[in-house]
Structure 1
């Protein structure tokens, strides 16, 4: 809590001008002057903590479901296909099953290892930033997966000996990259919104009477 009290010689009109400048430059909320805005800082952090925890679990469940569907579907294709006569389908199923098992394992590990999110504003902001940055990295990787798959699929039309393998693996990589891009994108944009709310709530402004005039209080 930082309190800045102007000297008695500073007229209230000067303080009003400072408040106006802060509103323009920092977007500070002073709808209710002389008291804290809305809910207390701690209760707001608790609400945002619950939102973050729910969103993180929901994302892991979606990734796990996507991985489970790919694992089961891929194994079914492998079982129902001939590796030599139906090479493209067999390799597509094998790659999809492998990716599905990895994604399902990552999601299950995340759900088991994740504890309750921080309930304090500072640690919660750090946790949300980390989640946001991980999702951003994943988005880049997802695009790279699809690009590698597209390259493999395109190369299969230029005299590759194992055409079925390249086409099956390439098509599966495109699908995996696109699917994870959608899931991570949903979680990423939601995280950006929560992160913006946390940053907006990180600075609070109040003005209240003081022995020398008015006191301007900034809470970080």
Structure 2
């Protein structure tokens, strides 16, 4: 009986150990996929913003030399604005090259996911301020006839650029939220034995 008991205990330990190991391996794979998805999204953000900026710089540089008045200032500001956008996109892409999905813990991955969503929301708030600021510049053009073309052109550009960025940031926020939040909840609720505690991060 003792021998049978020892055999059953040994077999049970081996089976339980294999099950836990398999669950841990699966959790590690899911965590890596969660991190890789966020890193791909961040790369796409940088490439999309960079491409938009380059197109605006190219078109604005040509158009500013071929137009006059308010339209000329509109294209001028598009160039200035998108030089800044290009810098942001380049910095984001360079920073993303240093990150590796394989080196992230669950806490790191969750924190980075939440940070991305918060950054996009903060940017969306700034974008609203840009649109309002552009409208203010246009209004100032009515009060300063000697600088009317410049203020109206710059104001229109800032409104257009702010409007684009607002749509860009909100769309990407909802993409990050819808794709990542489900995975985040699954990872937080899955412990080594498949049972865990969900920690709300809001």
Structure 2: which 5+ residue stretches go unaligned?
1-18
Match of 1:77 among 63, 75, 93: 63
Aligned residue in 2 for 1:156: 141
Take 2:100 and 2:174, find their aligned partners in 1: how far apart are those partners?
19
Give the C-alpha shift of residue 167 in structure 1. Answer: 0.8
Which range moves more in the overlay, 72-81 or 155-164? 155-164
Query: Which runs of structure 2 are paired with 1:7-86 in the superposition (5 Å)?
Result: 40-81=26-67, 86=68
Is the 8 Å Cα contact of residues 125 and 195 (structure 1) preserved in structure 2?
A: no
Aligned residue in 2 for 1:190: 175
Q: Is 1:145 paired with 2:123? A: no
Moved over 6 A (4+): 34-39
For residues 137-170 of structure 1, give each alpha carbon's deviation from its aligned partner in whole angstroms, at most 9, with x where no partner exists: 1100111101111122233234543110111001
Between Structure 1 and Structure 2, the one with more helix by share is 2
Take 2:50 and 2:108, find their aligned partners in 1: how far apart are those partners?
27
Aligned length: 175
Is the 8 Å Cα contact of residues 53 and 82 (structure 2) preserved in structure 1?
A: yes
Take 1:135 and 1:149, find their aligned partners in 2: how far apart are those partners?
21
Take 2:30 and 2:107, find their aligned partners in 1: how far apart are those partners?
12
**Of the two structures, which has the highest relative contact order with CA contacts closer than 8 Å and spacing of 6 or more?**
1
Q: Helix, strand or coil for the counterpart of 2:142?
A: coil
Is the 8 Å Cα contact of residues 117 and 124 (structure 1) preserved in structure 2?
A: no
| Change in 2 beyond 3 A, CA 1:80/1:138 | same
Match of 1:116 among 99, 102, 105: 99
TM-score by length of structure 2 reads 0.76
Give the C-alpha shift of residue 205 in structure 1. Answer: 6.7
For residues 12-35 of structure 1, give each alpha carbon's deviation from its aligned partner in whole angstroms, at most 9, with x where no partner exists: xxxxxxxxxxxxxxxxxxxxxx98
Give the C-alpha shift of residue 113 in structure 1. Answer: 2.1
Take 1:196 and 1:98, find their aligned partners in 2: how far apart are those partners?
39
TM-score by length of structure 1 reads 0.71
Give the C-alpha shift of residue 118 in structure 1. Answer: 3.8
